[in-house]
Structure 1
């Protein structure tokens, strides 16, 4: 943000007088300041920042700065507790500094040291509101801000104004009112971390409601109770009565309300519980500034009889149920990773950031589990040992660190809920046990609608989709999992506890998992239409022991690896193929069909990562093994031959690539037929090598024939057809048929974006080629935008050293050179040249192209000696980037 991004005319046209920026824990201060300003006729808007170490808490949102004439910053130690930088304050001051007296008004709500403030803020006179009475505080802020009379009309203040006008009590100045006289709230958790966004959501839900009812909903261990306690403690000054009720057993609610009735003087101590509870609710209906917290309500019907009307607030925490008609529902989720790490590193002395990240990931960022982990790690257990024990002894390990602020350990509360489920719905309990051996990802109900083989000792699982959805609902209603349109999702810590609980029957559950997954293989992993099904299946497949898997799972693992490759998930594919190829080589044999299939996909992944030479090395070995064990004409052997042709072509070994592609093409035509997708894959690759050798007529004829056949066989949107379309468009371009080339490149790019996504490597290839065409046709602005976007996406998706990224880097450097940004261009060209020499070698055409471009840049800067040194004596060929890609695969 800078001053030019906030033009004066926008500020003048704004109807918003003040934008109030504050730290979440200072919400009551923000409400008091906001109400005070509104009563004086100003319009306001509140903002809040959630902050943890490393967060930026100072920068105001650009849109708000545009709307607001002035910005009020409520300054406290908490406000300056984040990782703001001097540059960020400079931006704020630049945006806020226009107009008489400046637009940024610091309001101190507690005593601060000037040294705590950013340098730019130290010169701004603050308004100090701390340690003074409320009338004086109002006078100070209104007098200091006077000079413009605020417009009349409705305020944007979120909810509070209407409430305070209705109650005629106004907002209370924080610090001037003691804790409520009627108070039953558990002790505050001193380790409470983050959650400011949730607390603000609860606050606004309560202020807007009439009466205000906020429902905190989420599974066990996410911190619902802790959140309700923190709300009560943080906003205590705004209430006269705060009362917490343990509501898990509905029969005990009446007695706890009766105690409240006696405490507030609405009932006599000798009255019966029902009479005293009714008196308490009746008294609350006539009072203001009260808060009831019903903790762990199991059913909305248990709460309804005890909801007072009137101008007070009610919070209910619950794992389950449908509450939308009762109050505003706030979903309480796990911590963010930054919140998890902040909690761990602040409480465990010496815990490294990487270890904290690993522990948080293993615990799924569950607040209760993290609190228990703190207790264990504080006892001196190394993080690495903690992670090892967590895998097989989660219940015992976490019970060692039970925090005082939680009523029960995660293991105890989970087992208790599981026992309830087993007693009322045994089949649902068995399904939940099974989920303990799957991934912590959604399990679709439709899986149970497909018949699968069940062993004699298999658990009694649902036999159709209706039984499955019923079981899902029972599991969800006890807070043991989340349920949505994608399926049932069990938290990884709950899974660990379930595995501990079912250790004696582990074999039966593992066999059931294999039987279930074996029936879920989608029919075709090359079609994007099936990829959502693969996306659901693969995490669960990877959660099984594929290293020692039986035949049917090994076949699925191979298909899953192929899916990961085709869908552009190269890192996941490389990890999977590396692990399984190594283990299957040991456990089966190097020549076993599944081992060789995984070897093929391993080489494919290595190629996609940009290491063409290493990929070719693996492919030569796999081809030799398949020729020896399967023969030269076996389809698997031809798969290896096809892939090797792609790699050696990328290495610019064109003579060898053409011969191998011709042989593979003729064999596939004879064995599989002219129209088989594998035959057409090799035909497209052969056409590419023809083009790169300058045999353009042959390339054009073969590309046209291949594209036509693929469109008929697979459809225009199939990735293989789009690959062929890309190659044909580039061949049209070479042949001077620019209009046809442009139309086909544009169509292919848009189809790939729609079918594969903007970040898929194939989409980025089309973007690169289309950008090249735009440049050659004089559409330089469009080319620049497309190339720069492609370069940034390739860096993020493929990495800085990938040959495709280096192609984009070279193009970007030349764009900078043409824009006369010569020094930037030179730095990028030098870096690209170094990387290409290391990745591709000195003799690769792309490296030679880089040397030529670098020499040109040196010459333009008058560095002739350097230009002569780097200039290659070899032909540089065309300066265009490669436009065609070869297709690997089966």
Structure 2
């Protein structure tokens, strides 16, 4: 039965009865009505930012490039660094300075949005033929721009993946639909016209994408703001006037990253007045989890595309995902780098550890291997590994996630990028995997804290401190982590960083107790390191308690004559010295020396250290001649064994000069003043640093020699320097700081500045009463001196 269709009163469209076979129908659209071309205008989906902050010469560079005929430029930088904001400001300035210039904005994150933007341009400028379903909208806009009599600026925003611009586009109706008879058109990149009257700006996170569209010379790198710019932006967003130290501090913490600053300002303002900059800063510093929570805030920016995230964390994680999909080995490299300190990341620690181990053992393996080795294969594998690593570095540099030093062997990255990477790893359940890899590589590279390893330790020290907050969960990895912290504590102690040494040693001790047990040798050494930090920090009773504990366990585990046991006994004897318990110190030191001579030999460094310690005890007891004999012996042996500029040799030389001075042998002391004390002080400055405790001791000794020579002004200058440096390095109430205070008081008294001397000595006595036990020789002496001065 045939069906019928009713079309109404009009006779429009296609009407047919029953048809058997194909039908070809042609629709004839009515001709387009002529449209009046509009005057040049600005087509940007964002309002101008009233809070815009000048970015040094960046806008100037952009303007200079765009002023040339047929100009192209690319703003390349991290996500959230302000590339689009610079492009927006440049666009508005361009149109204001030249109202006859067309300004267009193209969303170039993907093909669909690129097409939408081109269609918007066609509609705005009223291009004829744009309504035709078969029209190629890209060609229409391209041709219009080429024929345009006015100047124009085209901004391609967010070209982070340029692949869609390079592939051929299927022909169709101009809306993304195609017919059965598809025609492959040229790549979209070809629809970006070259025209003397036009200029094109590209914004992208990915340098490789930029290079698909512009020459390398046309890249303008956008870096985070400097201090003044970051502070200015923060104040504008918060509506603040004048100086605000909290804002400056927070801007620095956020590494002057514009998106992070805008995000933080929005967070604070939304919660005001109950919330403040100080509150945000306090919350930010509480933990890594709190930092990521604050930085995940996704509000506050009106001049970002709807696809772009306002959260700095999420913004970067989009790039992480892209790298993971396109080159997973580069994502792995970024993952590993995220745990290091942000600066001075050595290439050697980033390569697979097995390569380093093979390189270190290669010579021994060859000596034992009677078979032929395929050296050509070895070379090709190494070369391939170098190429892979180099390519990964190029990818990360292209996204502005890392940078290198001039030599290309040290890397650097923003702390916020590291934080975002770790957050991303946590979300993908890979955090522990890469944390363990970081710890393992660092443990393999970080040497023990002997003087000979100082340079290597210094290069890795910041990374060990970064590891302090990255304890793994796996027990074997915890053991490696504790080893890193212990060795770093050792180096910190040798470097005079007592506070760091204590913090690192305590963490290592707790971890080793947990995974190795109380009696394990490594645990004992960690406990001893904590004791050493306590002793150097003036916590002598705490140090004594730990040393006694370790000695008892070490005697049972290792034996009373084991070198490790003797070392800890020597540290306990030094603690007795600090406490003013000279007899106990002497008894223990003699015991250590005799056992060390039998076990290690008379010229062993441990034996010489013991002899030097005994000489120091003799000094404290006023037994100058005995002290001198031992110090000469130790100094000569150390010169032969270690060299004249070794820190231990310098200590011997300084101690001998001090003994001469205390004996009243001014002729000898004056000679040593030139030959020893100045030499020791200057060498220590070079080797250890100007604020190292040993360097400060040398300055103090030189001041005492100057006093004996009657050079009061120079002595006072040195003593003030030492006292202030010790306050900063050791603390205002450290026993060594109080010794400096007492020495300066004596100098002022000798200069007839009695009132000042009494005030300073009174302060010294009050502080010594708080930190020293009653009866301590230093406290007793200062009390006696103060009493005498006050009645004079």
Q: TM-score, normalised by structure 1?
A: 0.62
Q: Is the 8 A contact 2:337 2:350 kept in 1?
A: no
Structure 1's 426 and 342: CA in aligned 2 closer, same or farther, altered over 3 A? closer
Counterparts of 1:680 and 1:625, CA distance in 2: 25
C-alpha displacement of 1:747 = 0.9
Secondary structure of 2:80 counterpart: coil
Rate the CA distance shift 1:319–1:420 in 2: closer, same or farther, 3 A.
closer
Establish whether residue 677 from structure 1 lines up as the match of residue 609 from structure 2.
Answer: no
1:766 and 2:690 are equivalent in the alignment: no
Given that 2:489 and 2:529 are in contact with CA atoms closer than 8 Å, whether structure 1 keeps it comes out as yes
Distance 1:335 1:732 in 2: 53
| Partner residue in 2 for 1:538 | 464
Q: Residue 487 of structure 1: SS of its match in structure 2? A: strand
- The Cα of 1:783 is off from its aligned counterpart by 2.5
Partner of 1:452: 354
What's the counterpart of residue 79 of structure 2?
A: 220
Find the counterpart in structure 1 of residue 399 from structure 2.
478
1:391 maps to which residue?
Answer: 289
State the Cα distance separating 1:599 from its structure 2 match. Answer: 1.0
Moved more, 759-768 or 446-455: 446-455
Cα-to-partner distance string for 1:223-270 (whole Å, 9 max, x where unaligned): 4444665687899977766957568669999998999999999x9998
Match of 2:411 in 1: 487
1:782 counterpart = 2:714? yes
Residue pairs, 1:265-344, within 5 angstroms: 272-278=140-146, 283=151, 320=207, 325-326=217-218, 331-332=223-224, 339=231
Q: 1:804-883 maps to which residues of 2 (within 5 A)? A: 804-816=736-748, 823-855=755-787, 858=790, 864=791
Q: In the alignment, does 2:368 pair up with 1:430?
A: no
Query: How far apart are residue 601 of structure 1 and its match?
Result: 0.9
1:283-318: CA deviation from partner (whole Å, max 9, x where unpaired): 47xxxxxx9877556699x99x99999999989675
Are 2:320 and 1:418 aligned? Answer: yes
Which of 568, 574, 586 is the matching residue for 2:502?
A: 574
CA contact (8 A) 2:464 2:488 kept: yes
Instruction: Output the CA distance in 2 between the equivalents of 1:822 and 1:216.
Output: 68
Q: Is the 8 A contact 1:248 1:295 kept in 2?
A: yes
- Quote the Cα distance in structure 2 between the aligned partners of 1:454 and 1:761: 37
> Does the alignment pair 1:648 with 2:504?
no
Aligned-partner SS, 2:451:
coil
Displacement of 1:544 in angstroms is 3.6
Deviation digits for residues 495-552 of structure 1 (CA, Å, limit 9, x no counterpart): 233323430x455434433443342133654332323333254135434426854544
Cα distance in 2 between the residues matched to 1:556 and 1:204: 48
Partner of 2:354, secondary structure, is coil
Task: Identify if the C-alpha distance between structure 1 residues 712 and 308 changes in structure 2 by more than 3 Å, giving closer, same or farther.
Answer: farther
SS in 1 for 2:517: coil
Q: Report the Cα distance in structure 2 between the residues aligned to 1:553 and 1:756, rounded to whole angstroms.
A: 27
Distance 1:525 1:294, change over 3 A: farther
Contact kept, 8 Å, 2:440 with 2:480, in 1: the verdict is: no
Deviation at 1:629, TM superposition (A): 2.9
> Would the aligned equivalents of 1:374 and 1:401 in 2 still touch at CA under 8 Å?
no
The answer to whether 1:667 aligns with 2:595 is yes
Counterpart of 2:55 in 1: which secondary structure? Answer: helix
> 708-717 or 603-612: which moved more?
708-717
Cα root mean square deviation, aligned: 5.0
Are the counterparts in 2 of residues 398 and 411 from structure 1 also a CA contact under 8 Å?
yes
Q: Among residues 567, 587, 605, which one is paired with 1:639 in the alignment?
A: 567
Whole-angstrom distance in 1 between the partners of 2:566 and 2:390? 46
From 433, 440, 445, give the equivalent of 1:520: 445
Asked if the contact 2:339–2:418 (Cα under 8 Å) also holds between the matched residues in 1, the reply is: no
How far apart are the structure 2 equivalents of 1:537 and 1:568?
18
> Could you tell which deviates more after superposition, 198-207 or 474-483?
198-207
2:119 matched to 1:187?
A: no
Deviation, 1:370, is: 5.3
Match of 2:13 in 1: none
Structure 2 CA distance for aligned equivalents of residues 660 and 507 of structure 1: 47
Which of the residues 622, 627, 630 maps onto 1:694? 622
Matched, 1:613 2:541: yes
1:703 aligns with 2:631: yes
Quick check: 1:445–1:469 contact (8 Å CA) kept in 2? no
Distance in 2 between the 1:806 and 1:308 partners?
A: 77
C-alpha distance in 2, partners of 1:605/1:341? 44
**Residue-pair matches, total:** 659
1:218 Cα offset (Å): 4.2
CA contact (8 A) 1:216 1:317 kept: yes
Unaligned runs of 5+ in 2: 1-39, 131-138, 166-188, 358-380
Q: State the TM-score, normalizing by the size of structure 2.
A: 0.69
Cα distance, 1:835 vs structure 2: 0.7
Whether the 8 Å CA contact 2:333–2:350 is kept in 1: the answer is no
Residue-by-residue CA offset, 1:186-243 (whole Å, 9 max, x unaligned): 3355777xxx6x6344467679999699986643334444466568789997776695
Match of 1:468 among 389, 411, 426: 389
- In the alignment, is the contact (CA less than 8 A) between 1:392 and 1:500 conserved in 2? no
Q: Is the Cα–Cα contact under 8 Å of residues 829 and 854 in structure 1 kept in the other structure?
A: yes
Query: Counterparts of 2:656 and 2:259 in 1: how far apart (Å)?
Result: 58
Check the 8 A contact 1:447/1:516 in 2, yes or no.
yes
